[in-house]
Amino acid sequence: MAMTLTRNDIGSLFPNIDMNRVSFLSLLDDFFEGVLVTDHKGYVLFMNAEQARIDDLPAQSLVGKKVTDLYHVDDGDSPTMQCIKTGKPIKGLACYYRTWTGKIVNSIHNVFPLLDGSQLVGTICFIQDFSIIEQRFEAVFQPEKIKNLQPGSGTPDRIKGRQFKNGTRFSFRDIIGTSRELLESVDMAGLAAQSSSPVMLFGQTGTGKELFAQSIHNAGPRQEAHYVAVNCAAIPENLLEGILFGTSTGAFTGAVNKPGLFEKADGGTLFLDEINSMTVGLQAKLLRFLQERKVRRVGSLDEISVDIKLISSVNRNPHTAIADGSLRSDLFYRLAVVFIRIPPLKERLEDLPLLISHFLEKNNILMEKQVSRVSEEVMLLFNRYPWPGNVRELEHIIEGSMNLVDRDTSIRPRHLPPHMEMFFRQVPGQPRETGDLSADGIPLPSGSPDDKPGMSLAEKNRKNEIAMIRDALSRTRGKPSAAARLLDISPQLLNYKLKKYGIDRRDFS
């Protein structure tokens, strides 16, 4: 027998309550799944916050629109319209579709008819996003997220809230993204958190090395102890030694007995950021600590035993730093027992929609604004920008742009900082406007050095398409799904064009 939902069915469970006074929409809005309610013709009556997040659109702007127009599908392809036509539920339908930002959503749809007696009055659709399901499984097995339902009989719920008493603010839950490269780094960091072995993080400025370091601390057995961090590049070399190892009376004029960061972090974690900026002489003293696990204050002969987990980071290739003498090779091998590379933003552009949504929400609260999205033009520019400042630059650009948004609900090109406009003016081959598209929807460069007088329009388009495809594959290291997003076309269309033009994506790996 087909499953249907009616208010009378639910009302029979609560015979003494007037079901007209029970608010179901507020419950649906808090669902972890996307929820879409339509009338009997397929027009949207309600969309919850999770589905709006999945679709990268504000829910209020979608109410009143037909699902076939909203998702650009025919009646026969729409699960909702199939449910309306047959009056039967559709369960566990796996499908995918593209949002307005170009993100591909792989999802499971469950659609049920809503009946008033025997008359169909609408549908309710529950949508599960594969990527979010994957993230939640990741989250469930993070120690700080597992709650003990029987206090006294198991592991306590040690970490509560977002401000931790150990001097940190971040845990793995704050790392935003679903790209394979990022998740691999997170997995390695989660495993490395369980031991006392040194960890070295390698990532460009703005990739989130501090976030990773704090997350490692908060996922490990030392999470209740202190986390201490220092940026080795920000402190003059004549002061850094005393700050790290401490000082004793008489070491120099005005010196007093004072513990260093190693002693303050005893029992916990010490994070040395940009360690390649540390002088070679100080690196030798650090190496001695790694061998003996003891520190000696400046001006003292006494040694103090210290038990810490040491996390370090470099912002340039460590082998290059070793070659030019700025990083000792023996120190590198001792610090990089576990070596984790954090991918730059340009290598995980598929995470842009999630990051943008996070920064919009954060700044909407701080600025008391209602900016819900970036325009299609801005998203196109974001997918072509190299992001030298990585996620930190994206955060600052979103914040700066929102300061210039008045009554609009979208960030548009005019709101972006001047340096982005200058970049796109100077880089050849960047589309001047979103109207510069090929017949198949691939953005075309404004001009090409290979254009010849008398060349046909078809030949020009062909050369431009090949150039754009090769450039996208080069930027994404041969990853077709990421390249398709850069080009703002479907993966299927890109695969067709690779075969058509004889381009092998493996040449760009």
pLDDT digits (tens, 9 = 90+) for 218-241: 999 999 999 999 998 888 877 888
Contacts of 436 (CB under 8 A, 6+ apart): 443, 444, 445, 446
Among the listed residues 361, 362, 365, 372, the one whose alpha carbon sits nearest the alpha carbon of residue 407: 372
Among the listed residues 308, 325, 335, 330, the one whose alpha carbon sits nearest the alpha carbon of residue 202: 335
- Cα–Cα distance measured from residue 466 to residue 474, given in angstroms and rounded to the nearest whole number: 12
Strand partners, 48: none
Tokens linked to 212 = 């990773």
pTM recorded for the entire structure: 0.55
Q: How far apart are the first and last CA of the chain?
A: 53
- Cα–Cα distance measured from residue 95 to residue 24, given in angstroms and rounded to the nearest whole number: 27
**231 touches 177 (CB < 8 A):** no
Q: Determine what percent of the chain is predicted with pLDDT higher than 70.
A: 78
- Cα–Cα distance measured from residue 265 to residue 306, given in angstroms and rounded to the nearest whole number: 8
Write the burial class of residue 419 (CB in 10 Å: 0-12 exposed, 13-18 middle, 19+ buried): exposed
Among the listed residues 237, 343, 344, 261, the one whose alpha carbon sits nearest the alpha carbon of residue 310: 261
Dihedral of CA atoms 346, 348, 350, 354 in degrees, nearest 10, equals -100
Which pLDDT score is estimated for 349?
92
Tokens linked to 305 = 């035993």
Half-sphere exposure of 346 (CA within 13 A, CB side): 16
> Helix, strand, coil shares of the chain as percentages rounded to 5?
45, 15, 40
pLDDT digits (tens, 9 = 90+) for 25-37: 667 777 778 899 9
Which pLDDT score is estimated for 57?
74
Q: For residue 270, which phi and psi values (nearest 5 degrees)?
A: -115, 125
- Asked if the model's pLDDT at residue 355 lies above 70, the reply is yes
Which pLDDT score is estimated for 447?
45
pLDDT digits (tens, 9 = 90+) for 255-300: 678 899 999 999 999 999 999 989 898 999 999 999 999 999 988 8
**445 touches 468 (CB < 8 A):** yes
Tokens linked to 8 = 């009378």
Among the listed residues 210, 265, 273, 268, the one whose alpha carbon sits nearest the alpha carbon of residue 240: 273
Confidence of residue 301 (pLDDT cuts 50, 70, 90): confident
CA dihedral over 178, 202, 236, 247, signed as positive or negative: positive
- Cα–Cα distance measured from residue 364 to residue 360, given in angstroms and rounded to the nearest whole number: 6
Which pLDDT score is estimated for 353?
92
Q: Walk me through the domains of the chain, giving residue ranges and CATH numbers.
A: 7-130 (3.30.450.20), 141-341 (3.40.50.300), 345-427 (1.10.8.60), 432-509 (1.10.10.60)
Tokens linked to 408 = 């609009």
pLDDT digits (tens, 9 = 90+) for 401-428: 999 998 888 999 989 988 887 777 665 4
Confidence of residue 41 (pLDDT cuts 50, 70, 90): very high
pLDDT digits (tens, 9 = 90+) for 178-210: 899 999 999 999 999 999 999 999 999 899 999
Q: Tokens 């520019």 correspond to what residue?
A: 381
Among the listed residues 99, 170, 101, 178, the one whose alpha carbon sits nearest the alpha carbon of residue 136: 178
**318 touches 336 (CB < 8 A):** yes
